[in-house]
A = this chain, B = another copy of it.
């Protein structure tokens, strides 16, 4: 997590904020933390983002953009590859022992301003829509088998991912991989 010379200061601030939010939570990080991490004064951060809320919104928008990019990149791949692509987001999160931004900000929801709440709801909805689509396609193509509605199955899988990155901070880090593989295994159609 270092400032790439090709990145603008603005993007570097967002990147550092993102890591801090997912490591410690929105209320536990300060402009000072970012200031130290990238070597500019806290007042200069306000030049790029007038308020902490503005920075929070920009951070979530960054996640939405990356999600859309990943979705587009996997558009012509198989449902399984798409699902594995979705899981790879959480694998990256877990490898840093951080948590998902949706989970982090959902617990802080009642302490942040409306702009952040609204943007977070957009992100959550997009994740849910995408996973639902993947499952629908997978079922239609007999790549996946499950009994409940695709949106319900998507909620089950997303909640598994969202919470295991949190819970495995307390139990065992390996539990993340265990769940990820179990979910994929259970989705496979039984060949009997």
Specify which chain B residues have a CB less than 8 angstroms from the CB of A143 in the assembled complex. Answer: none
Complex partner residue of A163 from B110, B160, B182, CB under 8 angstroms: B160
Interface residue from B107, B147, B178 paired with A99 (Cβ < 8 Å)? B107
Please indicate which of the listed interface residues A109, A156, A179 has the most CB atoms of chain B within 10 Å of its own CB: A156
Residues of B within 8 A of A109 (CB): 169-170
A159 to B25 alpha-carbon distance, docked (Å): 19
Which secondary structure characterizes the binding site on chain A?
helix
A170 touches B103 (CB 8 A): no
Contact B163 A178 (CB under 8 A): no
Is residue A142 contacting chain B, with contact meaning CB distance below 8 A? no
Q: Which of A112-171 contact B (CB under 8 A)?
A: 120-121, 124-125, 128, 147-148, 152, 155-156, 158-164, 166-167, 169-171
Q: Is A102 an interface residue (CB 8 A)?
A: yes
Residue A111 lies at the interface, judged by CB distance under 8 Å to chain B: yes
**Contact indicator A24/B163 (Cβ below 8 Å):** no
Interface residues of A in 31-89 (CB under 8 A from B): none
- Number of this chain's copies in the assembly equals 2
Distance between Cα atoms of A12 and B109 in the complex (Å) = 25
Interchain CB contact under 8 A, B182 and A156: yes
A148's nearest neighbour on chain B, judged by CB, is B182
Cα distance A158–B110 in the bound complex, in angstroms: 23
Choose among B27, B152, B160, B179 the residue that contacts A28 (Cβ–Cβ < 8 A).
Answer: B27
User: In the complex, how many angstroms separate the beta carbon of A170 from the nearest chain B beta carbon?
Assistant: 4
19 A-B pairs besides A125-B170, A125-B171 with CB distance below 8 A are A23-B110, A24-B110, A28-B108, A28-B111, A102-B170, A103-B107, A103-B163, A103-B167, A109-B169, A121-B170, A147-B186, A155-B167, A156-B160, A156-B182, A158-B167, A159-B160, A159-B161, A162-B166, A162-B167
